[in-house]
Structure 1
Amino acid sequence: MTQPALPRPARGARRLSDLTWVALILSGLGLALAFMSGAGLPIAAGGTVCALSALRRRPEDSPWPYVAVATGSVGTVLALILAIVTAVEWLPRLPELLVG
C-alpha cells in the first residue's frame, strides 16, 4: 500500500527567518513563565529584543515579529509586576525564614 504524496509548499513560498522563530518561541515561553513570580522576565525581554532585531533585518516576515514584540512586551511587563509583588510580599519575611 502506498502513502499519498504530501503537499509541497508552493514554489517561491517564503519561510520565516530563524531569528523570527527564536523571537516567537522566547516571547511565548517568557509570557507563560511570567506567571511563576516573574521567572519569565529575562526570557520575555530576550524575545522582545530578538523580535525587534528580526523586524529590522527581515521586514518581509511581517506580521510575526510584531506578534513576538507584543507577546514579549506583555510578558516582560507582567513578569516585572509579579516579581515586584513577590519581592514586597516575601522580603519582610525573609529574616525570620533564614533564622528560624
Structure 2
Amino acid sequence: MSQRIVDHPVLGSLAARNQLRFTFNGTPYSAYEGETIAAALLASGVRTLRVHEEKGTPRGIYCNIGHCYECRVNVDGVPTVRACMTLVQDGMQVTAGTVLPTPLKKGGHSQ
C-alpha cells in the first residue's frame, strides 16, 4: 500500500513522472523520478533502514535533511550512503546496514 501524496499543489502530480524500480534487501520497490531512497521506502511502509552497528537496534529516518546520518544504507555496494539525500536510480540495489564487529567492545581488539 503506497502512502505517497499523488497530487501536490506545488510539486505537481506523480502521474507526470516516470516510475523507477529498485530493491531494498532484495525486495522490489517502486519510486518516482526525483524521489529519494528514504521517501520511496517510507511511502512503501518501510521504517527501518539499518540497525545500530554495535547494539543492533533499529534506525530509520530521523532528520531527513542529511545531518544525522541515521538513514545510512549501502547502495550498489557503496556503504554509508544517506538515503534521505540520494535520489533513486532505476535498478538501484539498496541494502540495510548491519551489526559490525567493533574494537570498542572489551576484548574486541588485539594488542
* TM-score calculated relative to the size of structure 1: 0.29
Point out the structure with the larger strand share: 2
Query: Which structure has the bigger radius of gyration?
Result: 1
Point out the structure with the larger helix share: 1
* TM-score calculated relative to the size of structure 2: 0.27
